[in-house]
Each structure stands twice: as C-alpha cells, then as structure tokens.
Amino acid sequence: MLPFIIRSVVQKTVTLFFISIISFSVIHLAPGEPSQINPMNPRFTPELIKRFRSQFHLDKPLYVQYLIFYKDLFSGKLCSWKDGRPVLKKIWERFLNSLPLFIVGTLLTWTLSFPVGIHSAIKRGGIFDKTATFFAYLFISIPGFFFAYVLIIFVVNTFHVPVIGMKTFGFSSDSIHIFMDRIWHMFIPSVLSATGGIAILSRYVRSQMLEVEAQDYIRTARAKGVPEDDVHYKHALRNALLPFITMFGLVIPGLIGGSVIIESIFSWPGIGRMAYEAILSRDYPVVITLNFISAVLVLIGTFISDLLYMIADPRIKL
C-alpha cells in the first residue's frame, strides 16, 4: 500500500509541475497582453504602461515571471488584474456560491441514478425500463441551455416562482423565509445539472448491472437456492457497484467546475462565470489559478479513485 501511495504522489506532483508550466506558457504566449486592453485609451501613457508592466512583472524574463507567479499563488498574495483583489479570496467567495448548487446537484444525481439504473436492469424490457431509457436519452441529448429555457418558461408561467439570481433582489424577511427564498432560486439550476448527470449515470449503472447479472456466479447463487432479492441486491449489486466506488473519487474535480452555461442563464455568481469573465478580460492570475486548482482537484480525485478501487476490489493486491 505504502509504495503505491508514494509512487502515486510523486507521479502526480510531476504531472502538476508540467501542468503549471503549460498553463503559464499558454496564457503568456497567446496574443493579447493585459496592458494592451486599452491601447487606444489616451490615459494609458507610455509611462503608465511601463509602470503597469513592471508592477505585474511583465518586463522580466518568462521563467522569473513563472517563479514569482507561483510563489504569489501559494502565499495567497496573487492579485487579480481586473480589480486588484487577491485571487484566492475571489475564488473562495464564488466557490461558496457554487457550492450549494454542486452539493444539491451531486446528491440528486448519485441518489437517484442507482435505484433507477438497478431497477431498469432487473426488470429489463419492462415499462419502467422503457420509460427510464426514453427519458435518459432525452436528457442526454437536449442542449442544456434549451432545456433551461423550457424549464424557465414552464416554471415561471405555472408557479410564478423567481428564477434568476441567487436571491430575490431587495427581499428581506426573517431567516426562514430567506432560507426558502434561497431554495426556490436554487431549485431549477440544481435540477438542471442533476438531470444530465442522472441520465448518464443511470444508463451506466444499468449496463453494469446487466453485465454482472449475466455472469456465472449469479447462476450459482440461484442454484444454491438463494432468494431472488438476495441474488440481485447481494450478489449482483456488490459486483456491479465496484466501478462506481472508484467513480466517486472523480466527483471531486466537479467542485471547481461550475457550469458556465447554467450560471450565465440564471445569473448565478459562481465559479463557472468567474472563469468565463476572467478569460474574456485576460485576467491571467485568475485563469491560471483556477486551472491550477482544477488540476490539483483532478489529481486528488484520481488518487482517491485508485485508492478506493484497491480497497474495494479484493482481486487487487494491496
């Protein structure tokens, strides 16, 4: 176990190192420096530009910029070029906004996918299976923004529920009502992100269950006289769930990956939109930091996945 952990950590650190270099260079090699944002602006005198550049170290050689940049990143001193505020702080604020959406979406996805997928597999070809399959394909294929608008039209016309933003503007009341207001606003975006996830995950669960149910040891279990429920939920499920235990580790990168589209439509001030705005305004520190954090999360996620896999499957030697 220990050699695996050490090897894994070393490999992932090396990968992270390469990622840091690549993201840094790609952004800097791309056309368009931030100091050129307003080249036509008469207030940007050559002196101002020079000061701007030296302040952001743009006049130093690339590798020095790289070192300074990452030093600042880790110490939290790195500041956004758009509004001068510390990057980590900005990210943290937006992260807290995205977090409820992420939690609710993920919870919905993972708790609903399994019953649906398992039931579809056990009663393969039945009405439940056919209906679930139909909806799964529908939700996989529908473009997110289109579905969002369909939902908005439907919900607004039927329930007259506020839809845009995190909370109703100017709404102040006691905390229970504020809480409910938040829930209302969170409702459609979470459902939106969950439906796609449920559609994909439940299909995968279904196909895994079907594959396991076709195995010989299921036949042995029946030959032993094991009751049908146990055949499905004890013998088959335990094997079918194996890949999903490892998938769970890959949920972690989702923390930083707020959906740009959903956040744009609902004007939700989350991380996705922040990334989008940062890219548009060439706010390098924010972009690179987000990239870096995302990479770290992916690597942590895969590491946890591998670890869980080793623990869960007795065939893997520890």
Partner 1 sequence: MTLLSVQDLSVGFFIENEFALAVRDVSFSVKKGEILCLVGESGCGKTVTSLSILRLIPPNGRIVEGRILFKGKDLCKLSEEQMRDIRGKEISMIFQEPLTSLNPVFTIKDQIAEAIMVHENASKQEITDRCITLLKEVGISEPEKRLYDYPHQLSGGQRQRVMIAIALACNPSLIIADEPTTALDVTVQAQILTLFKELQEKYNISLLYITHDLSVVAQIADRVCVMYAGIIVEEGSVEHIFYSPAHPYTKGLLDSLPKRHFKNQKLKSIPGFVPDLLSRPKGCPFHPRCPLTEKLCTEAIPDFKELEDGHRIRCHILG
Partner 2 sequence: MKRGLWATLKKDKLGMLGLFIFVLFFIVAVLGLILTSGRHPIFNPSMIRLEEKLKPPLSHANTEVLLPDQIPPFGIYILGTDELGRDVFSRMLQGAWVSLTVGFVAVGISVAIGIVVGGIAGYFGHHYVKAYHIILSCLFLLAIFFFAKKEWLFLGITSFITISLLFFIKEKSFLKKGIISVDSIITGIIDVMLCFPSFFLILTIVAFIPGSLYSIMAVIGLTSWMGTARFVRAEFLSLREQDFVLAAKALGVSEFRIIFKHMIPNAIAPVLVSATLGIASAILTEAGLSFLGFGVPPPHATWGNILADGKQYLFDAPWLTFAPGIAILVVVLSFNLFGEALRDALNPRLRAR
User: Is residue 15 involved in binding partner 2 (CB under 8 A)?
Assistant: yes
- Please count the other Cβ atoms lying within 10 Å of the Cβ belonging to residue 217: 11
Contacts of 170 by beta carbon, 8 Å cutoff, 6+ apart: none
User: Is residue 295 involved in binding partner 2 (CB under 8 A)?
Assistant: yes
Q: Which does 220 bind (CB under 5 to 8 A by kind): partner 1, partner 2, none?
A: partner 1
The DSSP letter of residue 31 is S
**Which of 119/235 has CB closer to partner 1?**
235
Q: Which does 245 bind (CB under 5 to 8 A by kind): partner 2, partner 1, none?
A: none
**Which of 194/199 has CB closer to partner 2?**
199
Q: Which does 280 bind (CB under 5 to 8 A by kind): partner 2, partner 1, none?
A: partner 2
Using CB under 8 A as the binding criterion, the count of chain residues that bind partner 2 stands at 48
CA angle 279, 297, 287 (to 5 degrees): 15
User: Is residue 32 involved in binding partner 2 (CB under 8 A)?
Assistant: yes
Q: Which does 48 bind (CB under 5 to 8 A by kind): partner 1, partner 2, none?
A: none
**Any bridge partners for residue 79, and if so which?**
86
User: Is residue 304 involved in binding partner 2 (CB under 8 A)?
Assistant: no
With both helix axes pointing from N to C terminus, report the angle between 242-249 and 175-213 in degrees, rounded to the nearest 10. Answer: 140
**Which of 150/214 has CB closer to partner 1?**
214
Q: Cα–Cα distances in Å, from 201 out to 19, 37, 276?
A: 29, 43, 27
Instruction: For residues 82 and 90, give the distance between their C-alpha atoms in angstroms, rounded to a whole number.
Output: 11
Sites of contact with partner 1 (CB under 8 A): 215-217, 219-228, 235, 238-239, 242, 313-315
- Please count the other Cβ atoms lying within 10 Å of the Cβ belonging to residue 307: 16
Q: Which does 217 bind (CB under 5 to 8 A by kind): partner 1, partner 2, none?
A: partner 1
Q: Which does 222 bind (CB under 5 to 8 A by kind): partner 1, partner 2, none?
A: partner 1
User: Is residue 143 involved in binding partner 2 (CB under 8 A)?
Assistant: yes
User: Is residue 144 involved in binding partner 2 (CB under 8 A)?
Assistant: yes
* Distance of closest approach, residue 228 Cβ to partner 1, in angstroms: 8
Main-chain dihedrals φ then ψ at residue 144, nearest 5 degrees: -55, -45
User: Is residue 211 involved in binding partner 2 (CB under 8 A)?
Assistant: yes
Residue 142 in 3-state DSSP? Answer: coil
**Which of 178/261 has CB closer to partner 2?**
261
Instruction: For residues 251 and 247, give the distance between their C-alpha atoms in angstroms, rounded to a whole number.
Output: 7
Q: Cα–Cα distances in Å, from 247 out to 8, 110, 173, 201, 253?
A: 18, 11, 42, 10, 11
Q: Tokens standing for 84? A: 């001068």
> 215's torsion region: left (phi>0), alpha (psi -120 to 50) or beta?
beta
Which single residue is written with the structure tokens 């039927």? 158
Residue 195 in 3-state DSSP? Answer: helix
Q: Which does 295 bind (CB under 5 to 8 A by kind): partner 1, partner 2, none?
A: partner 2
* Distance of closest approach, residue 201 Cβ to partner 1, in angstroms: 21
Site string for partner 2, 249-278 (x = CB under 8 A): ----x--xx--xx--xx---------xx--
Applying CB under 8 A, which residues contact partner 2?
14-15, 18-19, 22-23, 26-27, 30-32, 137-138, 140-147, 149-150, 152-153, 207, 210-211, 214, 253, 256-257, 260-261, 264-265, 275-276, 279-280, 287, 290-291, 294-295, 298-299, 302
